[in-house]
Amino acid sequence: MSVPTEPPDQSRFLDALSAQSQFHHVFDHLKGMAFFAKDKHLRIMAACRNFYLRFGYSSESEVIGKTDHELVPAYLVEHFVADDQEVIRTGEPKLNIVEVFLNDLGVPDWYLTNKMPLFDKNGEVIGLMGTTRPYNSSKDTHHPDRAVEKALRFIQQNYRKNPSVQDVADHTGISLRQLHRKFMQAFRTTPKELMQKLRIRAVCDMLLETDLSIGEIASLLNFRDQAALGRAFKEVTELTPLEYRKRK
């Protein structure tokens, strides 16, 4: 094969790529990693397999043109949109965002997100692209606020015991008010809400992976009783535990 003597034309190369050969499809083969791209109106313009499967779709074409309002629960949308708009407005990336996203079971979980602006050939911002991956997929992942990091690790290690928020504050060495403020700034949720979401994720795993009764699961995760578990579960997933278990 002869090697051309003229310098390579990157623009021509990129323009010639077919939709099936776009670079983002490499993310289809990276476990836990999801890729998306949006236009200035925050409509999905590209998504890898891990991204669209998470929302129950079987092909990329099914999510093209959709917005977060059509894909995720309303309580998650506000901060997604705020971050997207900031990236588009400033033309600056937002990196290592620790936030709640939907896992492959459709249940809220903690993820590490990166968002970067997309520019046209004139240097104008025309959208953004981003990646998400599970927060704990790397031992090198740390939240920049040490108090938040310490509290988060304590919650992740002890949520099954349902510790009080005071227990979290005491372990972290800050006041309840400081703890609440820091969590709202970092995660847009409270320590109590985070623990509840983690417990619900554990319930999901047990429903799908074990034959334990709902009462037994409630006891293992320190819910007051089976009814309390059912109410909390439906609030997060919009399904009863039995409806969710039928997915097995």
Would you call 147 helix, strand, or coil by DSSP? helix
User: Rounded to an integer, what distance in angstroms lies between the CA atom of residue 16 and that of residue 97?
Assistant: 34
Q: What is the pLDDT along the chain (248 residues), one digit of tens a residue?
A: 565 667 677 777 777 777 667 788 788 888 788 999 999 999 999 999 989 988 889 999 999 999 999 988 776 787 789 999 999 999 999 988 877 677 765 555 678 899 999 999 889 999 999 999 887 644 444 555 788 878 888 988 898 899 999 999 999 999 999 999 988 876 667 899 888 888 888 898 899 889 999 999 999 999 999 999 999 998 877 789 998 888 65
Domain limits at 179? 146-245
| Distance (Å, whole) CA 33 – CA 190 | 26
Q: Quick check: is 69 in a domain?
A: yes
* Residue 88 and residue 162 in one domain: no
Query: Is 184 among the domain residues?
Result: yes
pLDDT for the residue 3:
57
Alpha-carbon gap, residue 31 to 109, rounded angstroms? 16
> Which residue has 């795993």 as its token pair?
205
Q: Indicate whether 8 belongs to any domain.
A: no
Last residue of a domain, one of 137, 165, 199: 137
User: DSSP assignment, residue 42?
Assistant: -
Residue-wise over 195-205: b if at least 16 C-beta within 10 A, else e?
Answer: bbbbbbbbbbe
Nearest to 63, CA basis, from 118, 24, 116, 119: 24
**Which H or E run includes 196?**
helix 191-209
Q: In this structure, are 132 and 167 located in the same domain? A: no
pLDDT at 74: 73
Regarding whether 192 and 110 lie in a shared domain, the answer is no
Residues with Cβ < 8 Å from 6, sequence gap 6 or more? none
Domain tally, the chain: 2
Any domain includes 1: no
Whether residue 99 sits in one domain with residue 67:
yes
46 and 132 part of one domain: yes
- Specify whether 128 is located in the same domain as 81: yes
* 79 and 153 assigned to the same domain: no
2 within domain boundaries: no
pTM, full prediction: 0.58
Note whether 123 and 202 are same-domain residues.
no
| Residue 54 neighbours by CB under 8 Å, 6+ apart | 34, 102, 103, 104, 106
Instruction: Decide if 104 is inside a domain.
Output: yes
Q: Is residue 13 part of a domain?
A: no
125 lies in some domain: yes
Which domain-ending residue is among 90, 107, 137? 137
Query: In terms of domains, do 193 and 96 share one?
Result: no
